[in-house]
Amino acid sequence: MVCKERDGQVRISLNDDFDPVKIFECGQCFRWNMGEDGAYYGIARGVPARISKEDGNIVISGTENDFRNIWYDYFDLSRDYSSIRKAVSIDGYMKNASDFGEGIRILNQDRWEALCSFIISQCNNIPRIKKIIETMCALFGEKRELEGREFFTFPSAVTIAALTEKDLAPLRCGYRAPYIIGAARAVAAGEMDLDALSSESFGVALKALKGLNGVGDKVANCVILFGLHMDDAFPIDVWMKKAIGTHYPEGLDPAVFGGHAGLAQQYMFYYQRSGAEDIIK
């Protein structure tokens, strides 16, 4: 992988398994949006960025140092996705799903942000999820700027922990407000040590997260996959239920994916939600 810095951006010559549209639209994150120029704009780890693909190269705003310190890890660039796609292609359906999802990468998101975001996501639709999160960041995050655009950092658990449900009223997040505050207080107080959990087993992490009010199986699995970056998590939502019901009516043990259940789930989810399969039929 060659990385060149020029004009305030780095250009990375990596062609395989990096498709910004799929990465940002596959449902794992809520804070990246496509601009009029076709590039994606967002903010992670307190740093705003512009991400695009030009002439087969990945182009990321910032310095080579930013790339080394932030984006290389954030985009999970050390993993070989083509070999994982091969590994999860356990049958014709999974081959189709993983081919369709080629270019997806699992982002290494901030743990607290993932927890908070997926609490908000429950029984909700994506536009509203995004709106609630952006409102929260605008109200309680810190302002950043890039190319004349305004961005807001994701507020820390400590910040949210100091608020009340009333403070969250502008978010219009309904019954999720006490869940958010409860989770923030647990994290801020150190009762819920997400950093420590990330080096625990899946089972330990699952049990701990489900101890939070408002966190059930689905949200916990999303946090473990997208925030704690454990690839044996396997979130099952309504889309996954449809996919499993159609292709594995006898049931599906995530263990068949050999430690890559998380990515397998993402390919299934993205394939199912795209409706691509139905179009073929």
Partner DNA sequence: AAACAGGCCTAAA
Partner DNA sequence: TTTAGGCCTGTT
Nearer Cβ to DNA (15/213): 213
What's the rounded Cα separation, in Å, for the pair 157 and 151?
19
Nearer Cβ to DNA (8/170): 170
Number of helices (H) and strands (E), helices first, in the chain? 15, 8
Q: Closest separation between CB of residue 159 and DNA, Å? A: 22
DSSP structure class, residue 226: I
169-183 burial, b if ≥16 CB within 10 A, otherwise e?
Answer: eebebeebbebbbbb
Q: In the block, which residue shows the tokens 């700027």?
A: 145
Give residues in contact with DNA (CB under 7 A). 27-28, 118, 121-128, 172-176, 210, 212-220, 222, 235, 237-239, 269
Q: Closest separation between CB of residue 263 and DNA, Å? A: 13
Nearer Cβ to DNA (68/172): 172
Helix (H) or strand (E) holding 252: none
Nearer Cβ to DNA (11/273): 273
What's the rounded Cα separation, in Å, for the pair 141 and 134?
9
What's the rounded Cα separation, in Å, for the pair 169 and 164?
9
For 2, the token pair is 């060659």
Burial class, 116, CB count within 10 angstroms (exposed 0-12 / middle 13-18 / buried 19+): buried
Q: What is the widest separation between alpha-carbon atoms in the chain?
A: 55
* 229 within 8 A of 114, measured Cβ to Cβ: no
Q: Closest separation between CB of residue 144 and DNA, Å? A: 24
Q: Closest separation between CB of residue 29 and DNA, Å? A: 8
Nearer Cβ to DNA (143/241): 241
Nearer Cβ to DNA (10/184): 184
Q: Closest separation between CB of residue 130 and DNA, Å? A: 9
Q: Closest separation between CB of residue 57 and DNA, Å? A: 27
